Amino acid sequence: MAMSQPFIVACQGGLNTNFTELAMLSQPGLATKLKNFEPDPDGGYRRIKGYTPYGDTRPFGGTDTAILGVLAYADGVIVTGANDIKFSNDGTNWIKINKTSVASSGDNYVTFNGRSDLSRAGQKQTSFTFFEDNVDYGKVVICDGDNPPYLFYMTGLGALSTRTFFAQTLAITSHVGAGTPDNPTCAVYHKTMLVAAGVSSAPNSIAYTTFDADAPDVTTSSSSNVIAVDDAVVALKAFREDIIIFCKNSIHRLRNVHDSSTIAVVPITKNVGCLSAHSIQEVGGDLVFLAPDGIRTLAGTAKIGDTELSTVSRNIQSIITQLTRNIGSKVITSVVLRNKNQYRLFYSTTATSNLDSEGVIGTLTGNGYSWAQTVGIQAHGVDSAFDNDRTQNVYHGDRKGYIYNHDEGNAFYEAGVAANIEAEYVTPSLDCGDLGTKKTFHYVKVSLSPEGTVSPTLRLRYDYEDVDLLQPPDYILSDVPVPSAFGAINFGDGIFGGTRDPSIRQSVQGSGDVLNLKLSSNDQKAPYAINGYYINYVPEGRR
């Protein structure tokens, strides 16, 4: 009788939707489906956390008002929707911050709230430009492509009612030419210079405003200059010593914006453009953005002033291609979770429910990006920032006007009601090193890292789910021990001294040339990581 054989796989590499079945035999640690899991930089796939309501009040009241933008600011969050801009630091009490006639020296809380509202009629998806400028919480310029840029900031570290508020509209892109509307879609602050672009009637023009270098402050410009590119501007991003100009079909570098005698636009590429300003983030020192041919990075090189472009989404190209084909109907947003070295891109229509909204997660590892998918997070505005305690706060908002603490809790939400997180990990077909040998499988050991009580389901399918084979039933892994340290958990809720990564042994049935595994859960339980698995089998002979 043949001796039993082991087959060990470590989970690494992330989702791959492009390889053929045969190609994936040599990379069993990849996933053919990885929904609501996140690749860990050091290996393993962790079921993602959910999100929790930020306070108990929607910023725009009880009506379903779609969120148009979210910015983590000070000790709270700024959100835009309909014709207004709101701020709250508790999620319950929201104040309107789009005000007129605010004193140049600032208003106290009562005076500010009593000012007339500044209507932002027709407000669209919002972009935010944040800069420090030597004030307590920094300053924010808000652009939406339909209204003038709006500056807001506040000072004072005490209760909200004790702070001083500053706000005004800015005149920047109106200098492009007589009659040009002052409605840029984007702006960037770079070394005391405010640069804006995306004006509806002059999409190729970039306006830059100069300030007193000894006392930098954003006010209505004392002078404004204009420079043009030969393509419609999509976004501006400060990158090292330059400003990167992302256009529809090209990318350029704006150099020496502070020196009118040497300012110049230098092309980086005229063959690649950016599909969405809201896809651009900085991860690991590189700019990441959505291009027509995939998710790309723009990286600095060792050569001063040089950059290089790379495609990083090849493993999920079929997913990105489907997205880019339908980009016109999607609301695109993105965020970086810096404590995880992770880029998240979200996309959904204005009619899609939260639980049907999609996204991708890219974790930067030592071998490049490892990818996964999300289903159940609608982020029509999303942002992350570190507070004064260096704690990363992440918020997102949906089409019904709810604001959530992102990457917290163990549930998703639809219209404020908690829902399960449905997670699936599916392996490639596994031949255990020999595609031509039939094998009888005896048991599987799954290495998990539970963060609480979990009970994932294990499913095995043989020979590419051959309908002529009797396939085994699903197995519920209900006895996953929760490891704990003394003083860190209540008595009876865990196993003192237990391993952090227990291996769960499950006897299985069936035989075939190849098999694949699916580990899944559909609940509101704690996250868990799948580190790898061990398969015990007996070869039955070649056929």
Q: Torsions phi, psi of 250, nearest 5?
A: -155, 170
533: Cβ contacts below 8 Å, ≥ 6 apart: 8, 9, 11, 444, 445, 446, 447, 517
Q: Which of 64-78, 228-242, 294-308 has the lowest mean pLDDT?
A: 294-308
For residue 302, the model assigns a pLDDT of 40
130-158 pLDDT, tens digit each: 998 889 999 999 999 999 999 999 999 99
How many Å apart are CA 480 and CA 149, to the nearest integer? 54
How many Å apart are CA 173 and CA 238, to the nearest integer? 18
Q: Which residue type, as a one-letter code, is found at position 121?
A: A
Q: Predicted confidence band at 182 (pLDDT cuts at 50, 70, 90)?
A: confident
Q: What element of type H or E holds 511? A: strand 511-512
Report the relative pairing of strands 264-269 and 251-255 from DSSP bridges. antiparallel
Q: Which residue has the higher pLDDT, 391 or 325?
A: 325
51-89 burial, b if ≥16 CB within 10 A, otherwise e?
A: bbbbbebbbbeeeebbbbbbbbbbebbbbbbbbbbbbbb
Ramachandran region, residue 271 (left: φ > 0; alpha: ψ -120 to 50; beta: rest): alpha
Range list of β-strands (E), 171-232 = 186-190, 193-199, 202-209, 224-228
Average pLDDT, the chain: 91
Q: Which two tokens stand for residue 166?
A: 């500053």
Ramachandran region, residue 74 (left: φ > 0; alpha: ψ -120 to 50; beta: rest): left
Residue 180 pLDDT > 80: no
Whole-Å CA distances, 388 to 392, 403, 450? 10, 22, 31
Number of Cβ within 10 Å of residue 185's Cβ equals 24
Residue 535 pLDDT > 70: yes
Q: Which of 309-313, 334-338, 426-430, 513-517 has the lowest mean pLDDT?
A: 309-313
Q: Torsions phi, psi of 432, nearest 5?
A: 55, 30
> Mapped to the 3 state alphabet, what secondary structure does 339-384 carry?
HHCEEEEEEECCCCCHHHCEEEEEEEECCEEEEEEEECCCCCEEEE
Q: Which residue type, as a one-letter code, is found at position 306?
A: D
Residue 249 pLDDT > 60: yes
Q: Which two tokens stand for residue 283?
A: 């991860």
For residue 322, the model assigns a pLDDT of 96
Contact 334, 342 (CB under 8 A): no
Q: Which residue has the higher pLDDT, 62 or 52?
A: 52
362-381 pLDDT, tens digit each: 999 999 999 999 999 999 99
Structural domains present in the chain: 5-48+424-542 (2.60.120)
